[in-house]
Amino acid sequence: MSPGKQRILVTVLIVLGILLAGFFGLRFFHTFRELRRHGPPPVPPLASMEDAPAAETDVELIRDWMTVPYIAMTYHVHPKVIFDALGISPRGNEDKSLAQLNEEFFTQSPGLVIELVKATVQAHQPTPTVESVPPSAP
Q: What are phi and psi of 54, to 5 degrees?
A: -65, 155
Q: What angle do CA 85, 74, 67 make, to 5 degrees?
A: 55
Query: What Cα–Cα distance (Å) separates residue 73 from each residue in 53, 54, 79, 112?
Result: 10, 10, 8, 21
Shortest separation between residue 137's beta carbon and another protein, angstroms: 41
Contact footprint for another protein (CB under 8 A): 1, 3, 6-7, 9-14, 16-25, 27-28, 31-32, 34-35, 38, 40-41, 43, 52-53, 56, 58, 61, 63-67, 70, 73-74, 95, 97, 99-100
Integer Cα distance of 27 and 18 in angstroms: 14
Instruction: Give least dist CB 128 to another protein, A.
Output: 19
Which lies closer to another protein via its Cβ, residue 34 or residue 131?
A: 34
What whole-number distance in Å separates Cα of residue 110 and Cα of residue 106? 7
Q: Residue 78 or 136: which CB sits closer to another protein?
A: 78
Of residues 125, 117, 123, the one with CA closest to residue 69: 117
Taking the complex as a whole, how short is the minimal distance between the CB of residue 135 and another protein, in angstroms?
38
Nearest residue (CB) to another protein, 16 versus 123: 16
Supply the minimum distance, in Å, between the C-beta of residue 106 and another protein: 18
| Dihedral Cα 105, 91, 121, 97, nearest 10 deg | -60
For another protein, give the closer residue by CB, 65 or 129.
65
